[in-house]
Amino acid sequence: MKLFFLGWSGKDLGMIAVPLELKKQGHEILYWSGINLDKEVDAKLFPGTIFHDHFEARSGIPPKEFANANFLPPGEDLLKQLQETESIVLTMMNKHFEGWPVSKRKQLYYTQVQYWHGVLQKFKPDMVLYTNVPHTVYDYVAYSIAKLLKIKILMLDPSWVSDRLTLIEDYKNGCEAISEALEKNSNHHFQLSELDQDLQEYYCLQIEKLLDTTPIFVRHAKSQYSGYKLFIFKFKIILKSIKDYTIFKKITSFLKKKFGRNIIKEYRRVQQEPDFSKNFVYLPLHYQPERTTSPQGGIFVDQILMAEVLASALPDDWLIYVKEHPLQWTLHGSNFTDYRYPGYYQALASIKKVRVVPAETNTYQLTNAARAVATIAGTAGLEAVFRQKPVLVFGYFWYQDFPGMFKVRDLASCKKALEEIKSGFRVSHQQVIDYLGVFDKVSFHGYMDVDGTKVSKLTPQENTFNIFNALIKEIK
């Protein structure tokens, strides 16, 4: 088969060896984008392969082979077919193109459409492969155009349940192999002892209602911005600012945030202590920007819209308790951003039935006391269902077919879900174990980034082997 690898990097993880093993099987690697490919890949082993730097691709800069390519600009018909993609990508640009006006973002988007439509039509690959759900602009544009051209797509999807990965073709559909296996095993009840040891341990941890089961990637990120590491990080910023003569500008900016308006102060102004005796839905905000909201949130990348839909569907005497994600301020400080702009929390707090609770409130206490948990595509949903709480899922995630998950796409589906929840819906531990039994059979051990290595016992060579074996079954 003729293959494209997009966003595929990580020599130390065993990721670079995967395309090489596929090449040995007779598959042709036509195109490969990633980080540090010039250092990680021996190009002599891939004669004829086009290598594209990840950061240049994101900025719309083509590889040298296509520096003078004359791909045709997109017309009305193509852009109309990609209208959803355009909406998603313009918001996705908040991450790496913050502050850009809409017109400039659209120009970059049109450049990306022109290039990737031209490249995919020129090479006509049989399959495009990703290490994750595409979420860095260029890879998502390529994903959308590949779907339009009916080119098969395959991507790794980390579950953050142990080190389990699944393969998916369309992030909106999730892992179809899980759905099929659930149907086949609908009359079979698994015993906890039938599960692999890692899933047994995961289950036992998650059902402990007050145990902190914060995902490793959140813990790792927080550790990078605390204590000694935070001191070193800030010290380096100061040194760099002195060298490039921006120190006075940064001091002025710091003082302005310290004594003037900032995002944390705005949150503190609108927060209220939760009353755990009330009926409420717990809505933990997602960290943004990240793939779980863009693209996997769809229209609900706007979490204010999510809160409005939920509030409009809520029973009369119920409330919504909203809490900020623990990494939002850790990684962005008190700065306003394109996702957390001036007035953001005020807009949330002004929605009828919404109460913004202190960010320090224990998330597991909120989950345990809630009638339900609402999420787009976060780990909070999975944590909740293990604690026998129903979950309103507004986005697209691998666990969307998990028992106790209610898919919400609009006000009507939200109302229907809440009516069932109000009537006493409850997921059983047996249903959770049955799902894990199916998940055990469909998923495989592996990782695609550094965070994954922190929960996996696999060597890079074993990781290569597992990912290769999973892919080769699909690449025919």
Give me the number of domains the chain comprises: 3
Average pLDDT of every residue of the chain: 94
Of the pLDDT bands very low, low, confident and very high (cuts 50, 70, 90), residue 239 is confident
Same domain, 142 and 235: no
The verdict on 461 and 328 lying in the same domain is no
Q: Are residues 91 and 53 in the same domain?
A: yes
User: Is the Cβ–Cβ distance between 2 and 124 less than 8 Å?
Assistant: yes
Answer yes or no: do 295 and 378 share one domain.
Answer: yes
We report the CATH number of the domain holding residue 457 as: 3.40.50
**Per-residue pLDDT at 386 exceeds 80:** yes
Q: Are residues 56 and 119 in the same domain?
A: yes
| Residues 465 and 419 grouped into a single domain | no
Mean pLDDT value across residues 271-292: 98
The answer to the question of residue 149 being in a domain is yes
Residue 476 clears pLDDT 90, i.e. is over it = no
pLDDT tens, position by position, 145-185: 999 999 999 999 999 999 999 999 999 999 999 999 999 99
Say whether pLDDT at 441 is over 90.
yes
Are residues 410 and 389 part of one domain? yes
Does residue 465 share a domain with residue 371?
Answer: no
Which tens digit of pLDDT belongs to each residue from 35-84? Answer: 999 999 999 999 999 999 999 999 999 999 999 999 999 999 999 999 99
The confidence band for 229, taking pLDDT boundaries of 50, 70 and 90, is: low
Domain co-membership, 255 together with 266: no
Reported pTM: 0.93
**Comparison of pLDDT for 87 and 236, the residue scoring more:** 87
Residues 312 and 367 in one domain: yes
Residue 215, pLDDT score: 74
**Together in a domain, 7 and 135:** yes
Check whether 258 has a pLDDT greater than 70: no
Q: Which domain holds residue 233?
A: 225-260
Q: Is residue 188 part of a domain?
A: no
Question: How do strand 50-53 and strand 372-375 relate by DSSP bridges?
Answer: unpaired
Same domain, 366 and 345: yes
Q: What is the mean pLDDT of residues 279-305?
A: 98
Taking residues 372-380, what's their average pLDDT?
96
Tell me: pLDDT of 246 over 90: no
